[in-house]
Structure 1
Amino acid sequence: MKKFAMAAFSLGMLTSTGVTYAQAKTRAQVYQELIEAKQNGLDYVTDASYPEVATVNEGTVAWLKKQVQAKAVHDNKVATAGTPGATN
């Protein structure tokens, strides 16, 4: 009986630990998420300020967000300028 209990316990431990390692994201996806987080100012969150941005970094985060928005507007204008019949 003791052998059966030990075998069942071992099997349970092996199957339960293997499931936690499976991830659905690739390295490229995680890297892209990190880039987007940094652009959104999440790189300036500290342990003391979580989940908000640290007060010291608020100006930098606001500036970064404006830069990202300006780049998106610029990229949109460039993309629509190349299409026939588009007006800016």
Structure 2
Amino acid sequence: MEVTSFHPDADRRDRRDERAAYAQVGIPVYLVIDRDEDMLTVHSDPEDGMYRRSVSYAHGKTVTLPAPVGITLDTEKLKDYAH
């Protein structure tokens, strides 16, 4: 899981570089909580150094993470920490 920072390089580092690095080593599920966009994105199914599936949800939604994680998250409280 990654929570984006408010650092000027956050877009490149948090949203692209780390996602690529995790996919390359086969991390099966990568969750990004984006405080700037008030959403979270679930990346899954890594193959050939890239995630084949990425689904975004607004803060406040209930999200079930894919296997092997398989847990359900209530993201309502994330609204309190955005921006």
**Structure with greater proportional strand content:** 2
TM-score by length of 2: 0.27
* Structure with greater helix percent: 1
Name which structure has the greater RCO, CA cutoff 8 Å, separation 6+.
2
Structure exhibiting the larger radius of gyration computed from Cα positions: 1
